[in-house]
Amino acid sequence: MGRGWLTPQLALLLAHAVLVQLVSYAMRPAISYAILDLGFGPVWLGVATAAFAVPPLLLAIPSGRLTDRFGERAPLAMGGAAYVGAVVMALLWGTTLFGLIAATVLLGLGVLWSVVGEQAWVMRDAPGGRLDAVFGIYTFATSSGQMLGPFLLALPGGSPQSPPFELVSWCCLGASAAVLVLALLVRSTRRLADDERDATPERLAPAAWRLLRRPGVVSALVTSSLVLSSLDIALAYLPLLAQERSFAPWVLTALLVARGLATMVSRLSLGRLTGAFGRRRVLIVGSLLSAVGLAALALPVHPVLLVLAMVVYGLAAGTVQPLTMSWMTMLTPRHQRGVGASMRLVGNRAGQTAIPLLVAAISALGGAAVVFAFTGLSLVASAWLSRVAPNDATSDDDAIGDAASEP
């Protein structure tokens, strides 16, 4: 990326990122609808959300080490294969709760391996002084897929309150096959230099522990986890909100597309925002506004106002996620950035496991409205944690390497 913004390899990676998110953001709401259509209550939506996160939680750090040793192509290919398996599972056994949960597990693994490979690739090639802009472009691609995926839910053939599950799955099967092909075409980044390679034999647990001991790492991980978990909960529980309020599937599509478009806009302007106001201030304000936008979904208002709330949430949360990526990059030596990316995913998946299970219990008290009110409140904590984020945009491997040598 130092030779130009859009190299052929970067273009392949960005296309891969778009399709990965497109499949996830079409299949996961479709699976939520299918669970409700089978007669299972909102508690099972929380269980499905946790099922998406638990296997990646266990495998994230080993996946990062695999990436550091063998390059990014390996996890990218594994992610593509898991995606194909997930959609095939949904097509064959999508009329059973077991099949839907199993498909969700495979989707979670597909996202894990795909995102570890993508983020490690970007983290290694990102110019130190342009981290926010580079991650803004990458996450713009991911949010493009997040915006396009929900359009599949509006395809004809479904019931008045549910999308056509089988048709959505067939479309996602084609997209998943394309993900696998693109994964095989993406080349791993350059091999480590001799001095960096000498550092890689450190065992996995000590390497992860060294990163956790760095000031700011835990705060970055928890901030990222809270924001991503909120999006995960929105994906799982917006279908419940739509059914509770008798909204047609196109209303859900409008909500998710509005969030995706708003996130794309925020990420295009991310470099300018951090340049003008500083990373820390953007993180704090973004977390607070995302809390307001998500909590507003609990209000019994017209769907147009709910769409506006999702726009606020998308604009705000869309700035936080890429900034936590650059925050982690600044704290991680280059030869450990696969582990750094996977640790970030571990934190995300831990939140995606614990918070949805907590929310599942809360949903029994008041349905989707209580879920969104509680989740919005949790985002206030991410604003508080963001107070320790680095406020400048300077980062280079020498500075990171110096930090790595400290006890």
Is the residue at 151 inside a domain?
A: yes
Q: Which of 16, 9, 35 is nearest to 236 (CA)?
A: 35
Q: What is the mean pLDDT of residues 58-69?
A: 78
Cα separation, 319 vs 10, in Å, equals: 21
- Look at residue 175 in the predicted model and tell me its pLDDT: 97
Is the residue at 257 inside a domain?
A: yes
Mean pLDDT, the chain, rounded, equals 81
- Quick check: helix, strand or coil at residue 254? helix
Q: What is the mean pLDDT of residues 59-72?
A: 79
Q: Quick check: 178 pLDDT over 90?
A: yes
Name the residue with higher pLDDT: 9 or 308. 308
- Look at residue 196 in the predicted model and tell me its pLDDT: 46
% helix, strand, coil for the chain, step of 5: 85, 0, 15
Split into its structural domains, the chain has a count of 1
Tokens describing residue 371: 């879920």
- Look at residue 56 in the predicted model and tell me its pLDDT: 75
Q: Specify whether the CB–CB gap between 373 and 295 falls below 8 A.
A: yes
Is the residue at 1 inside a domain?
A: no
Domain span including residue 78: 8-404
Question: What sign has the CA pseudo-torsion 384, 385, 388, 391?
Answer: negative
Cα separation, 261 vs 388, in Å, equals: 29
Tokens describing residue 260: 């995706």
Q: What is the mean pLDDT of residues 274-291?
A: 88
Q: What is the mean pLDDT of residues 365-375?
A: 86
Is the residue at 258 inside a domain?
A: yes
Q: Which of 404, 394, 398 is nearest to 128 (CA)?
A: 394
pLDDT in tens, 187-218: 887 654 444 444 444 555 666 666 676 777 77
Is the residue at 147 inside a domain?
A: yes
Cα separation, 126 vs 9, in Å, equals: 14
Q: Quick check: 125 pLDDT over 70?
A: no
Instruction: Look at the pTM and tell me if it is higher than 0.85.
Output: no
pLDDT in tens, 372-389: 998 898 899 888 988 877
pLDDT in tens, 222-281: 888 888 888 888 888 898 898 888 888 889 899 999 998 998 888 777 778 877 888 888
Q: What is the CATH number of the domain that holds 81?
A: 1.20.1250.20
Q: What is the mean pLDDT of residues 19-37?
A: 94
Instruction: Judge residue 20's burial from the number of C-beta atoms within 10 Å of its C-beta, 0-12 exposed, 13-18 middle, 19 or more buried.
Output: buried
- Look at residue 335 in the predicted model and tell me its pLDDT: 62
Q: Quick check: 124 pLDDT over 80?
A: no
